[in-house]
Amino acid sequence: MIQVHTFTFNPFSENTYILSDETKECVIIDPGCHNYEERKELKDFIDNEQLKVVHLLNTHAHIDHVLGNEYVKRTFGVKLHLHKKDLPILQNAAARAEYYGFPNYEGSEVDVFIEEGDIITFGNTELEILFVPGHAPGHVAFINKEENICISGDVLFKRSVGRTDFPLCSFPDLENSIRTKLYTLDDEMVIFPGHGGITTIGDEKKYNPYVKA
């Protein structure tokens, strides 16, 4: 069974996720930890739970989701997975870090480019990749249909959707991603978003004011 642990990091209140199972293997998704205290919180949890980190995954490369990438790579010896279309966003992260006032940002290199349909494995668990652009050109979501878990990044929030006023964003693409990819999932699918609390596909189809089913 998948265990989902949520950390809320940095001034943007970004959700960083650790997914683990009974084997104690785990993945880290979107590490937004940017200072000593946040990074210690992340590592202490992994150490205390005796977890083995096997993958570093980014849903997309906006600055609040990648602040801890290099720290995680260095500390746990894992490879960074990202969709190729988000590479320009990652390459601009240093400029965004300076703009938003994050000192001493460490850039990171992509090790593995991921595509829709790829499967990420850890322990006895598989995560399927969905390509859901709009908020970012290479945005992906990670899903496990057996346990109805979706790490949606900044595509779909509780009663909201991701911003599309950044460079390389597109609301028509975002709306299409939600309608044709996320809203086709089981209504019981639990959405773990990049910001805010969890929701379900069924609830968002009924109540989301931005994209209705």
Task: State in Å, rounded, how far the first CA of the chain is from the last one.
Answer: 30
- Residues ≥6 apart with Cβ < 8 Å to 74: none
Q: b or e along 140-175 (b: 16 or more beta carbons within 10 Å of the residue's beta carbon)?
A: bbbbbeeebbbbbbbbbbbebbbebeeebbebebbe
The domains located in the chain, with CATH, are: 3-207 (3.60.15.10)
Closest to 138 in 3D by CA, of 107, 166, 162, 116: 116
Query: Averaged over 101-112, what is the pLDDT?
Result: 94
Lowest average pLDDT, out of 15-29, 56-70, 95-109, 137-151, goes to: 95-109
- pLDDT greater than 90 at residue 133: yes
pTM (whole model) above 0.85: yes
Q: Find where tokens 């992340």 sit.
A: 42
pLDDT of residue 3: 98
Determine the pLDDT at residue 213.
82
pLDDT digits over 47-66, tens only?
999 999 999 999 999 999 99
pLDDT averaged over every residue in the chain: 97
Q: Which residue has the tokens 């480019």?
A: 113
Q: How much of the chain exceeds pLDDT 70, in percent?
A: 100
Buried residues in 182-203 as b, exposed as e (16+ CB within 10 A) = bbebeeebbbbbbbeebbbbee
- Give the pLDDT confidence score for residue 82 in this predicted structure: 98
Instruction: Specify the pLDDT at position 103.
Output: 87
pLDDT (mean) for 106-117 = 96
pLDDT of residue 129: 98
The pLDDT value recorded for residue 36 is: 96
CA distances from 73 to 7, 70, 135, 209 (A): 18, 5, 25, 38
